[in-house]
Amino acid sequence: MKLVNKLPKSDPHLHLDLINSDWVPMKEPKNLISAILLSIPLMIVAAMISIGMITIFSPLSLSDFGMTSGTISISINVGIIFWLVLFVILHELLHLIFVPHFIQSKKTYVGLTLFGGFVVTEEEISKSRYLFITIAPFMIISIILPLLLGIFGLLTPTLKFLIILNAMASSVDLLNLILIMKQVPQHAILKNNGANTYWKRG
């Protein structure tokens, strides 16, 4: 595992080697901005799912987010910034820990940027494992966590906000999930070259 401060770039020589070895490049957004724009509908869906999980146990009102009687009150404190950073780190850790042998891997990269965190691995991974790695933060933080917190009555307004924010931030993950499910056959393996994804029949 390597800590880096920017996304690893695609290696054109590795690209040719992969193509010559029958790896198929996936059709996916060319950059992060395109991916975010394409995932906006999924952002809305993910937020609604997470809100649904929360409201099973705890009502959700505009006052939870500082909106009352037609006014909006925004207060930013050190505590919420700490929780926000913690949730970003937790989100990326939930991608990372399911990467096979991530600690020993020399092809797995972890980093934090102004736009959030990222985990990229160039290890060969089965389709089912890759899908699980992709969806894990959304499932654990925005679906399972609110259910567990709700059972014990621990859903505070701050946690509700962070859980919904994580769901929205998972929209690009959900887009990747859909692209993989549509393009990659069962029992295939996947591999990254920088941010570019390839698949090959297992």
Flag whether pLDDT at 6 surpasses 90. Answer: no
Strands (E), the chain: 2-3, 24-25, 67-68, 71-72, 108-113, 116-121, 125-126, 188-193, 196-201
62-82 per-position pLDDT tens digit: 666 656 655 555 555 667 788
* Domain annotation covers residue 65: no
User: Which tokens belong to 86?
Assistant: 């913690």
Counting the structural domains of the chain, the total is 1
Range of the domain at 101: 38-59+79-201
User: For residue 71, what pLDDT is reported?
Assistant: 58
* Domain annotation covers residue 1: no
92-106 per-position pLDDT tens digit: 999 999 999 999 999
Q: Per-residue pLDDT averaged across 47-73, rounded?
A: 77
Could you write out the DSSP letters of every residue in 71-92? EE-----HHHHHHHHHHHHHHH
User: For residue 85, what pLDDT is reported?
Assistant: 87
* Domain annotation covers residue 33: no
* Domain annotation covers residue 108: yes
| Model confidence, pTM | 0.88
CA distance 159 to 84: 10
Q: Per-residue pLDDT averaged across 32-56, rounded?
A: 95
Instruction: Tell me, rounded to whole angstroms, the distance of Cα 166 from its chain centroid.
Output: 8
154-184 per-position pLDDT tens digit: 999 999 999 999 999 999 999 999 999 999 9
CA distance 178 to 131: 9
The rounded mean pLDDT for the chain is 90
